[in-house]
Amino acid sequence: MLQRFFIYCCMAISFNLSAQAQITLDENSEELKIQNVSYLCDSLDNIGLEQIQGLSPDKYSIQSPAQSGFKETCFNYWIRFDLVNTSERNLEWLIDFDKWLYVNLYISDSNSTLYKSTGHLIPFEKRDHGVANRNLIAISLKGNQSFTCYAKLKTNSNYTSQPVNLDFSIYSKDHFFRVEQIKKSLISFFIGIYLVMFLYNLFVYISTRDRNYLYYLGLMLVLFLAVPHNFGYAIEIFPETDYYLYYTKIDLILSTIFGFLILLFTRSFLNVKESFPLLNKMFNIVMVLLVLVIIPAFLGEGFLAYNLSSLNRTCNSWTGINCCHKKLSKKTSFCGILFTCLQFIYYRCCYIASKGDGGAASKYIHGIQYAVRVIS
C-alpha cells in the first residue's frame, strides 16, 4: 500500500515538473504551440502583478492537452511561463495569444520587468506588434538568455470569438513572415478573381438586364470586401480608426448580406420556387432569420448568425445536389453542382489559411483555378 502511494506521488511530481518545464528556443525552432500552461483563474479581476510574482509555482493550476484550463465562468486568467534561448545567437520571436480581448505581458529577469500589451479590443496602432487582427507580442532574447513571463488574459461573454483553452503559440519572426507572405498571396488571388468576375458580370448585366446577374454582382462585391476582413487585414487599412471595435459587427453584417444574396441568387437561378417548393419555404425562413438575427447580435449575442450561415450553406448545397435528380437543363444541373463545389473550396481555403497552413491551402487554389477555366 505504501509502495503504491509512493508511486502515485512520484507520478504527480513528475507531471507537475513536466508541466512547469521551461520553453526552450533555438535557431532551429520555427513554431511552437504551448499547451501545458501554468495558470490562475482571476474571476474577480483583482490580482495584481506583485501578488502573482510572489506566488510559488505549486499555487498554479496546470492545463494539459487533455484538459483545458479555460472555464466558461471565468474570463480573467494569469499564466506563467519561462523562456530560455539555448543558442549562442540573439533571436527574435512572436508570441500569439489568439482570441483574447486584452493581453498584458510582463517579461521579467533579475534586473527589470518589461510591460507589453495587445488584444482584439486594443487599438491597432497601440498593439505591441500589429499584423492583421492578430494578438502578437514581439520578444528578443540574447544568446543563453532566459525570461520569466506573466501574462494577464481577459475576455468576456459578449465577444463572438471566444478562446476554448489557454494555449498560445510562439513563432520565429522569419518563419511567421514567410507564412504571412503565402497568406497575402492567397488573399490577393481571391480578390483578383472576385474583381475580374465582378467586372465581367457587370458588362453581362448591362447587356442582358438579367436579374440573376444583379444578385451575382452583389455576391462578388460582398466577397471582394469580405476576404480582407475575414483574414484580418482590413484593420491595417484603417489603423487609426475605431474599426477594431466594430470588427465582429462588420463580420456579422457582411455574413448576413452574403447569406441573403446567395439565397436570392440560388433560388432565382436554379428556379427553386417551382422545382423545390418545400426548400423554397425553408429559404424564406432562413432569409427572415438572417435579417432578424442582427438585432440580438448588436446587443451582444452573435453566435446564432454563425450557426445560420451553416444552415445557409446546407440549403444551397442541397439545392445543387437535387438539381441532378430533377429534370432540369444540363446547364442548370452543372452550375448547381459547380456552385456547391466552389463554396466548399472557398470555405476550406479560408479555414486552412486562417490556421497558417499556406502550403495546404495552395492545393485548393488549383481546384479554383480549374473551375475558373471551366466557367470561362
Q: How does pLDDT run across 329-339, given as a tens digit for each residue?
A: 444 444 554 45
Decide if pLDDT at 66 tops 90: no
**What is each CA distance from 149 to 174, 328, 331, in whole angstroms?**
22, 64, 61
What letter would DSSP give residue 302?
A: -
Residue 230 lies in a domain: yes
Same-domain check for residues 191 and 103: no
Rounded to an integer, the average pLDDT of 17-24 is 61
Does one domain contain both 197 and 90? no
What's the CA gap between 300 and 229, in Å, rounded?
Answer: 20
The whole domain housing 39 covers 21-175
In a domain, 9, yes or no: no
Question: Is residue 258 domain-shared with residue 317, that is, in the same domain?
Answer: yes
On whether residue 1 sits in a domain, the answer given is no
321 in any annotated domain: yes
Q: Report the candidate in 213, 209, 322 with the shortest Cα–Cα distance to residue 268.
A: 213
Phi, psi of 172 (to 5 degrees): -70, 145
Q: Is it the case that residue 63 has pLDDT exceeding 80?
A: yes
Predicted local confidence at residue 109, as pLDDT: 82
Residue 37, Cβ density class (10 Å: 0-12 exposed, 13-18 middle, ≥19 buried): buried
170 and 182, same domain (yes or no): no
pLDDT on residue 41: 94
pLDDT in tens, 241-283: 888 888 877 877 887 788 788 878 877 877 777 777 777 777 7
| Cβ within 8 Å of residue 164, ≥6 positions away | 68, 70
- What integer pLDDT is reported at residue 1 of this predicted model? 46
Q: Are 170 and 318 in a shared domain? A: no
Burial of 3 (0-12, 13-18, 19+ CB in 10 A): exposed
| Same domain? 259 vs 140 | no
- Residue 368 pLDDT greater than 50, yes or no: no
Same domain for 253 and 153, yes or no, is no
Residue 49 resides in a domain: yes
Residue 6 domain-assigned (yes or no): no
CB 96 within 8 A of CB 70: no
Indicate the SS3 state at residue 104: strand
Q: Which residues, including other chains, have CB under 8 Å from residue 180's CB and lie 6 or more apart? A: 131
- Spell out the residues 6+ positions from residue 106 whose beta carbon is closer than 8 angstroms to its own: 49, 113, 114, 115, 149, 150, 151
288 in any annotated domain: yes
Q: Give residue 310's pLDDT band: very low, low, confident or very high (50, 70, 90).
A: low
Q: What is the pTM of this model?
A: 0.74
Query: For the residues 23-43, what does the mean pLDDT come to?
Result: 91
Cα gap 136→153, rounded to integer Å: 13
Per-residue pLDDT band for 6 (boundaries 50, 70, 90) equals very low
pLDDT, tens only, 156-192: 877 767 888 999 999 999 999 999 999 899 889 889 9
Tell me if 10 is assigned to some domain: no
- Domain limit, last residue, from 175, 195, 221: 175
Q: Does 325 share its domain with 351?
A: yes
Q: Do 243 and 235 form a contact (C-beta atoms < 8 A)? A: yes
Q: What CATH number is attached to the domain comprising 131?
A: 2.60.40.2380
Q: Tell me the per-residue pLDDT of 101-125, one tens digit each, with 9 for 90 and over.
A: 999 999 988 788 899 999 999 999 9
227 lies in the same domain as 267: yes
With vertex at residue 321, the alpha carbon angle to CA 317 and CA 322, rounded to the nearest 5 degrees, is 115
**19 or 224: whose pLDDT is higher?**
224
Q: Confidence band (pLDDT; 50, 70, 90) for 57?
A: confident
Both 135 and 210 in one domain: the answer is no
Do residues 62 and 123 share a domain? yes
pLDDT, position 58: 83
For the chain, percent of residues with pLDDT exceeding 90 = 33
* Residue where a domain terminates, one of 141, 157, 175: 175
Q: Give the count of domains, the chain.
A: 2
* Average of per-residue pLDDT across 349-371: 41
- Please indicate, yes or no, whether residues 196 and 220 belong to a single structural domain of this protein: yes
Q: Which of 158, 175, 192 is the last residue of a domain?
A: 175
Cα Rg, the chain, nearest whole Å? 25
Task: Please give the average per-residue pLDDT across 8-33, as a whole number.
Answer: 64
